[in-house]
Chains A and B, each alone.
Chain A
Amino acid sequence: MNQAGGPTKISIRGLHKAFGAKKVLQGVDLEVPEGSSTVIMGGSGAGKSVLLKHVIGLLRPDAGEVLVDGGDIGHLHEGDLNTVRRQFGMSFQEGALFDSMSVFDNIAFPLRRHSGLDPDGVAERVRECLRIVNLHDVEGKMPAELSGGMRRRVGFARAIALKPRILLFDEPTTGLDPVMTALIADTIRALTEDETVTALTITHDLQAAYAIADRIAMIFQGRIVFCGPPEAFQTNTDPVVEQFRTSNPIGPWTEAEL
């Protein structure tokens, strides 16, 4: 049991990852309770996306473990990972839509493969998902015909299509206007109202983080330096957290860049 009340859904322990000489993660520890909406914050290049990709097994840890429902994701065989991933939904920074497929087919892709719905059921769910992200009359369009923000929202719709138990969102609101940001934030909140749905969102947008999170984690120099509810985040006096929160150009974030 933990702050949000649910049992631990995702547990990251001592996670290390380096790309060549660049050490990105240097011992990340993070517990994500079931039914919580956790936001991971941090500057560009802090390793947020790398962390998220470990949770779904897109990257393998150099050291440490990533447990989902108590099972270690990091050492699963590719074929078994495929099965585990069916309970995941993930949206990517630029949407990562399949550009050879229409918007409809993009969102229908996971439904056709894994949902067992008939074509009518698939079409209905696709439209429902598009309504959730407030997109209309785009079903037949190709990703290249959409704006960046629209692509992101289609990517978001695709991620939630299968009603997954674990949602991973990589910068879902970056590049969206304030209204759409609020809409996406509300949607993430609404999805995690269901106690069995756990969301892990990456952002560096403070407003979005406050709207989405019931827990905020801050990653700095490859480690989690803060993890707690938004209220605690707002009053925390750790220099790393404080500089980020107050948008101060002077502090550990900028010193680390030097």
Chain B
Amino acid sequence: MRALSTLDRAVTATIEEAGRWFTMLYKTLYWTARGPWDFREWFRQMARVGVDSVPVVFLAAFFTGAVIALQTYEGFQRFHAEGYVGSVVSLSMLRELAPVLSALMVTGRVGSAYAAEIGTMRVTEQIDALYALAANPIQYLVVPRVWASFIMMPLLTIMADATGILGGYLVAVGLLNANAVIYEQSTFQFLDLNDFGSGIIKAAVFGIILAVTGCMKGFHTQGGAEGVGKATTQSVVMASLIILLSDFFLTKVLFQ
């Protein structure tokens, strides 16, 4: 009986959380449609998500590309396939690693900040104050953050694509003495537009996921400074999990 009631509580909590998540997504769309749009704020948030995330995304993508080259070069050499290392790096970066790693980095940097900011505003009654001043907080706080993330994530991913390939190239050609011409050829040999496009679509979806999760967690924060800390941590865990899960299904759909 006890196990059953524990399960009941967990399932109920999960469904309620999912409800809050989709409500936040829906309200964002509603208040976007309703306008007016404060593009100044959109740009401010875009700079935060995009420009300020360039260094971390750059480093993450660069070393990921580099380590794939390092690992596969070693392994592929065993069956004389080192000529395909470039393809492995470019395919895995474009299709999978650039969007997912960028999204996880931005979740840690920006999604968590959204939760902390909005959570602090919640516990200090600033959210109530916005309502009281006839400024809807979803419209004022959430709409610019979600769309900024939606717009900037694909751009960050394009940069991550390039830096990952660059990292792989430098390791293979510079460190492991691979033939530069063969490596270049193999990098682009098997790529088609869908590889690039699917990564971009994923990135845009992840952008929405991390922003909605951060804002939702912040919005429903309870209980002072401790609550803000909890909301922040939970937003990162939750967004990362949703990103990884949806990644699987997106891949399945996009390459059907």
Which residues of A are in contact with B by a Cβ distance under 8 Å? 53, 56-58, 78-79, 81-83, 85-86, 88-90, 92-94, 96-99, 109-110, 113-114, 155, 158-159, 168
Closest CB in chain B relative to A148 CB, distance in Å:
12
Total residue contacts A-B, CB cutoff 8 A: 58
6 residue pairs, one from A and one from B, having the closest CB atoms = A96-B125, A96-B129, A90-B132, A85-B134, A92-B125, A110-B133
Q: How distant is the Cα of A5 from the Cα of B120 in the complex, in angstroms?
A: 43
Q: Which residues of B contact A97 (CB under 8 A)?
A: 126, 129
Q: Which residues of B contact A155 (CB under 8 A)?
A: 129
Closest CB in chain A relative to B244 CB, distance in Å:
32
Q: How distant is the Cα of A89 from the Cα of B134 in the complex, in angstroms?
A: 10
A53 with B134: CB separation less than 8 A: no
Name the interface residues of B120-155: CB closer than 8 Å to any CB of A. 120-121, 124-126, 128-129, 131-136
Q: Which residues of A contact B135 (CB under 8 A)?
A: 109-110, 113
Q: Which residues of B contact A78 (CB under 8 A)?
A: 136
Judged by a CB distance under 8 angstroms, whether B2 is at the interface is: no
Contact with A along B153-189 (1 / 0, CB 8 A): 0000000000000000000000000000000000000
Q: Which residues of A contact B121 (CB under 8 A)?
A: 98
Q: Which residues of B contact A83 (CB under 8 A)?
A: 134
Judged by a CB distance under 8 angstroms, whether B80 is at the interface is: no
Can you offer 24 A-B residue contacts whose CB atoms are under 8 A?
A: A53-B128, A58-B128, A58-B132, A79-B136, A81-B131, A82-B134, A83-B134, A85-B131, A85-B132, A86-B134, A89-B132, A92-B125, A92-B132, A96-B126, A96-B128, A96-B129, A97-B129, A99-B120, A99-B126, A113-B134, A113-B135, A155-B129, A158-B129, A159-B132
B124 with A110: CB separation less than 8 A: no
Q: Which residues of A contact B120 (CB under 8 A)?
A: 99
B126 with A88: CB separation less than 8 A: no
Partner of B136, one of A82, A86, A98, A114: A82
Q: How distant is the Cα of A53 from the Cα of B128 in the complex, in angstroms?
A: 9
Per the CB 8 Å criterion, the residue count for chain B at the interface is 14
Q: Which residues of B contact A79 (CB under 8 A)?
A: 34, 136
Which secondary structure dominates chain B's binding surface? helix
Closest CB in chain B relative to A111 CB, distance in Å:
10
Closest CB in chain B relative to A91 CB, distance in Å:
9
- Closest B residue by C-beta to A78: B136
- Closest A residue by C-beta to B135: A113
Q: How distant is the Cα of A92 from the Cα of B126 in the complex, in angstroms?
A: 9
Partner of B132, one of A56, A99, A113, A114: A56
A92 with B136: CB separation less than 8 A: no
Q: How distant is the Cα of A145 from the Cα of B210 in the complex, in angstroms?
A: 33
Closest CB in chain B relative to A165 CB, distance in Å:
13
Q: How distant is the Cα of A83 from the Cα of B34 in the complex, in angstroms?
A: 14
- Closest B residue by C-beta to A110: B133
- Closest A residue by C-beta to B138: A78
Closest CB in chain B relative to A52 CB, distance in Å:
10
Q: How distant is the Cα of A85 from the Cα of B124 in the complex, in angstroms?
A: 20
Apart from the given pairs A85-B132, A96-B129, A114-B134, 18 other A-B contacts in the complex at a CB distance below 8 Å:
A56-B131, A58-B128, A79-B136, A81-B131, A82-B134, A85-B133, A88-B132, A88-B134, A90-B129, A92-B132, A96-B124, A97-B129, A109-B133, A109-B135, A113-B134, A113-B135, A155-B129, A159-B132
Q: How distant is the Cα of A98 from the Cα of B124 in the complex, in angstroms?
A: 9
B125 with A93: CB separation less than 8 A: yes
Partner of B131, one of A58, A94, A98: A58
B136 with A94: CB separation less than 8 A: no
Contact with A along B101-137 (1 / 0, CB 8 A): 0000000000000000000110011101101111110
Closest CB in chain A relative to B74 CB, distance in Å:
50
Q: Which residues of B contact A113 (CB under 8 A)?
A: 133-135
Closest CB in chain A relative to B30 CB, distance in Å:
9
B120, B128, B133, B135 interface centre (most CB from chain A within 10 Å) = B133
Q: Which residues of A contact B128 (CB under 8 A)?
A: 53, 58, 92, 96
Q: Which residues of A contact B136 (CB under 8 A)?
A: 78-79, 82
Q: How distant is the Cα of A57 from the Cα of B133 in the complex, in angstroms?
A: 12
Closest CB in chain A relative to B48 CB, distance in Å:
12
Q: Which residues of B contact A92 (CB under 8 A)?
A: 125, 128-129, 132
